[in-house]
């Protein structure tokens, strides 16, 4: 990131000396090593205004940059201005990274504004599945990234504890309870088939005996309460095992009791956004370019999930969040459009609600996974996958692909504890550096981290300079990853590890006189970035493996 900033400053100064107007923004980007460190297409922008070819303008700019104290080379190639920084400029970058320490990569772009990330929000009808794991990892990592960018982040879980699915869950549990008592009670049509309800039914049969022989109002209330409470505890167990915690749990029932659902509906109707047909109330969405008009209130007077969701987002705005991010599956795409439209009709800002949309998860090597979760019926419980593979592996694999792509979770690869496994590939880089510092001793580590004790001019190897340039990218990667692209952070960390491992194998670190201290300083910077990056992913950075 600093390289781009310094390149912009150098080019801007050159343009000023040449009497040329500096465009805003001034285009610069990283380039391939054979061309240098930074490339700018500014000459293409200026050539249209000044006349002449981009190559002629680029040559003038490169000439004005000759002798710049931080540059080893400035060249005009095909109309591009290519810059290569001098080693001492890169050494200065490394010193700045080490001086920043654990704050490296942090920014105050959010300026303390409040941001809510709502994710998982699985209905309490069973344990979390592997599919929920992707959403849990995405939401938690995004929250970490925005915190690093200066936002005050609230993690929230929306608990749908009302409606037909909860009634079916309760009746399914009641059926299992009756079966445990020896009754031939079938599961309700559309009920929950998973074996996870059987032991709960057996426990309740032992606890309550024949207290609820029929499915009446009393049984419905008791089994609803018991089912939601039990499922919520299963969900919380899996989340805890995954290293995910929530600041706020919002229950759908509370929105109804506070009258917010009815209030929001009336506000939409007052704005002419609702019409009645066949006893139900519909939102006028087609008038605003959407594919269909959805039902908000059914003919029996009950609100739809969409209506409640709109009210829930009104509640979010009233609670003072400057921005809200919902992490949801791609199957909710139509509903997302409807919610955003409703909020726009109600007068809320367009930039208030954002959706991070992800595709689904399939397991490669699924047969091997099924063996470890026979209790879960036809789905794989997230908690079982974590028990088998470990939190670090599951979290990393869940965010390693861009959210918009279907995720094939390679179970056989995830089981490996060698550097073939990308998680271990990154973690091994951290532990190798830790082992070097253990061998070097604490005093050497202090001197390397002290920076002033290390003469970084000994870092002249092309691999060393390439590593410094890669470390310089870390703050920008955090920003890019926050744009619903946490996979970019995985790619970056694997890239840093990919530069380090060959260097570690080829270059002697210890016993090299003053060069040792300089190399230990470089290793401190690498370890810092690996540790910070893994922490943002919610993955450990072990000292030993």
Residue 450 has pLDDT above 60, yes or no: no
pLDDT digits (tens, 9 = 90+) for 13-72: 999 999 999 999 999 999 999 999 999 999 999 998 888 899 999 999 999 999 999 999
Give 295's pLDDT tier (boundaries 50, 70, 90): very high
Q: Which stretches within 242-363 are classed as H helix?
A: 252-257, 260-270, 305-318, 333-345
* Higher pLDDT pick, 445 / 211: 211
Q: What is the pLDDT of residue 375?
A: 32
Please state, in angstroms and rounded to a whole number, the distance separating the CA atoms of residues 73 and 464.
Answer: 19
Phi/psi of residue 363, each to 5°? -100, 120
SS3 75: strand
**All CATH 1.10.730.10 domain ranges in the chain, comma separated:** 419-536
pLDDT digits (tens, 9 = 90+) for 509-529: 999 988 999 999 999 999 999
Distant-in-sequence, close-in-space partners of 163: CB < 8 Å, separation ≥ 6: 252, 305
Give 372's pLDDT tier (boundaries 50, 70, 90): very low
**All CATH 3.30.1360.70 domain ranges in the chain, comma separated:** 2-85
Q: What is the pLDDT of residue 371?
A: 41
* Placement of tokens 């003053």 in the chain: 514
Q: What is the pLDDT of residue 452?
A: 53
pLDDT digits (tens, 9 = 90+) for 64-79: 999 999 999 999 999 9
Q: What is the pLDDT of residue 244?
A: 98
Residues 350-367: what's their mean pLDDT? 89
Whole-Å CA distances, 30 to 45, 84, 473:
18, 10, 10
Please state, in angstroms and rounded to a whole number, the distance separating the CA atoms of residues 215 and 199.
Answer: 20
Please state, in angstroms and rounded to a whole number, the distance separating the CA atoms of residues 120 and 133.
Answer: 8
**DSSP annotation of 478:** H
- The mean pLDDT of the chain is 93
Residues 77-86: what's their mean pLDDT? 97
Residues 304-326: what's their mean pLDDT? 97
The strands making up 38-40's β-sheet, listed across from edge to edge, are 29-30, 38-40, 80-85, 71-77
Residue 163 has pLDDT above 90, yes or no: no
Spatial contact of 433 and 525, defined as CB atoms under 8 Å apart: no
Residues 328-343: what's their mean pLDDT? 96
Q: What is the pLDDT of residue 214?
A: 93
Phi/psi of residue 519, each to 5°? -70, -35
Q: Which fold, 114-159+244-358? A: Rossmann fold (3.40.50)
Please state, in angstroms and rounded to a whole number, the distance separating the CA atoms of residues 47 and 49.
Answer: 5
Give 376's pLDDT tier (boundaries 50, 70, 90): very low
**All CATH 3.40.50.620 domain ranges in the chain, comma separated:** 114-159+244-358
Q: What is the pLDDT of residue 370?
A: 46
The residue count of the chain comes to 545
pLDDT digits (tens, 9 = 90+) for 482-508: 999 999 999 999 999 999 999 999 999
Residue 451 has pLDDT above 60, yes or no: no
Please state, in angstroms and rounded to a whole number, the distance separating the CA atoms of residues 471 and 457.
Answer: 17
pLDDT digits (tens, 9 = 90+) for 97-138: 999 999 999 999 999 999 999 999 988 888 898 989 999 999
Q: What is the pLDDT of residue 441?
A: 81
Spatial contact of 7 and 83, defined as CB atoms under 8 Å apart: yes
Residues 304-328: what's their mean pLDDT? 97
User: CB burial class (10 A; 0-12, 13-18, 19+) of residue 17?
Assistant: exposed
* Higher pLDDT pick, 194 / 224: 224
Q: What is the pLDDT of residue 513?
A: 86
Lookup: tokens for 179: 């079966």
Please state, in angstroms and rounded to a whole number, the distance separating the CA atoms of residues 178 and 156.
Answer: 36
Q: What is the pLDDT of residue 443?
A: 67
Give 366's pLDDT tier (boundaries 50, 70, 90): low
Question: CB-hemisphere CA count at 13 Å for 135?
Answer: 26
- pTM, rounded to two decimals: 0.92
What sign does the dihedral 420-423-429-435 (CA atoms) show? negative
pLDDT digits (tens, 9 = 90+) for 264-294: 999 999 999 999 999 999 999 999 999 999 9
Spatial contact of 127 and 235, defined as CB atoms under 8 Å apart: yes
Q: What is the pLDDT of residue 362?
A: 87
Whole-Å CA distances, 39 to 22, 74, 82, 84, 416:
16, 10, 4, 9, 40
Domain 419-536: give its CATH architecture: Orthogonal Bundle (1.10)
User: CB burial class (10 A; 0-12, 13-18, 19+) of residue 331?
Assistant: exposed
Please state, in angstroms and rounded to a whole number, the distance separating the CA atoms of residues 428 and 411.
Answer: 20
Closest CA relative to residue 91, chosen from 448, 459, 445: 459
Q: What is the pLDDT of residue 161?
A: 79
Residues 391-402: what's their mean pLDDT? 98
Q: What is the pLDDT of residue 165?
A: 83
Q: What is the pLDDT of residue 264?
A: 98
Spatial contact of 361 and 134, defined as CB atoms under 8 Å apart: yes
Residues 390-402: what's their mean pLDDT? 98
Residue 368 has pLDDT above 60, yes or no: no
Q: Which fold, 2-85? A: Gyrase A; domain 2 (3.30.1360)
Give 374's pLDDT tier (boundaries 50, 70, 90): very low
Residue 86 has pLDDT above 60, yes or no: yes
């Amino acid at each position: 990131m600093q390289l781009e900033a310094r390149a912009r400053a150098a080019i801007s100064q050159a343009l000023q000396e040449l009497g040329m107007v500096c465009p805003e923004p001034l285009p610069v980007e990283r380039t391939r090593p054979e061309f240098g460190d930074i490339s700018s297409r500014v000459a293409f922008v200026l050539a249209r205004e000044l006349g002449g070819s981009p190559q002629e303008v680029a040559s003038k700019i490169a000439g004005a940059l000759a002798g710049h104290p931080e540059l080893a080379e400035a060249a005009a190639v095909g109309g591009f201005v290519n810059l290569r920084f001098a080693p001492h400029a890169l050494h200065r970058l490394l010193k700045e990274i080490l001086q920043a320490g654990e704050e490296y990569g942090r920014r105050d772009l959010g300026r303390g504004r409040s941001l809510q990330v709502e994710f998982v929000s699985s209905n309490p009808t069973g344990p979390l599945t592997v599919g929920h794991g992707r959403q849990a990892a995405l939401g938690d990592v995004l929250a970490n990234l925005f915190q690093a960018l200066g936002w005050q982040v609230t993690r929230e879980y929306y608990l749908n504890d009302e409606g037909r699915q909860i009634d079916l869950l309760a009746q399914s549990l009641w059926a299992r309870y009756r079966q445990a008592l020896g009754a031939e009670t079938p599961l309700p049509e559309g009920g929950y088939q998973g074996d996870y309800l059987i032991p709960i039914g057996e426990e309740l049969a032992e606890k309550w005996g024949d207290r609820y022989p029929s499915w009446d109002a009393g049984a419905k209330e008791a089994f609803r309460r018991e089912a939601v409470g039990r499922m919520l505890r299963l969900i919380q167990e899996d989340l805890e095992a995954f290293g995910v915690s929530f600041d706020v749990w919002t229950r759908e029932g509370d929105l109804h009791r506070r009258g917010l659902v009815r209030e929001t509906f009336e506000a939409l109707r007052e704005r002419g956004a609702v019409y009645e047909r066949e006893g139900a109330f519909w939102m006028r969405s087609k008038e605003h370019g959407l594919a269909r008009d959805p039902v908000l209130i059914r003919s029996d007077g009950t609100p739809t999930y969409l209506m409640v969701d709109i009210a829930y987002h009104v509640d979010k705005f009233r609670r003072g969040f400057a921005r809200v991010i919902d992490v949801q599956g791609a199957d909710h795409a139509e509903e997302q459009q409807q919610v955003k439209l409703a909020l726009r009709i109600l007068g809320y800002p367009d930039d208030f609600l954002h959706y991070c949309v992800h595709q689904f998860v399939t397991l490669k090597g699924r047969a091997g996974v099924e063996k470890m979760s026979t209790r879960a019926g036809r789905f794989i419980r997230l908690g079982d996958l974590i028990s088998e593979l470990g939190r670090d592996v599951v979290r990393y694999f869940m965010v390693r692909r861009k959210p918009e792509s279907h995720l094939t979770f390679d179970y056989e690869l995830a089981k490996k504890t060698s550097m073939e496994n990308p998680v271990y590939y990154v973690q091994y880089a951290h532990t190798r550096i830790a082992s070097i510092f253990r061998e070097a001793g604490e005093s050497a580590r202090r001197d390397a981290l002290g920076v002033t004790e290390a003469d970084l001019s000994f870092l002249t190897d092309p691999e060393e300079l390439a590593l410094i340039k890669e470390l310089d990218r870390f703050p920008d990667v955090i920003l890019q990853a926050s744009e619903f692209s946490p996979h970019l952070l995985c790619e970056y960390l694997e890239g840093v590890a990919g530069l380090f491992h060959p260097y570690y194998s080829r270059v002697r670190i210890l016993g090299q006189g003053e060069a040792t201290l300089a190399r230990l300083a470089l290793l401190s910077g690498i370890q810092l970035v690996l540790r910070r990056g893994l922490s943002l992913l919610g993955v450990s950075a072990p000292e030993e493996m």
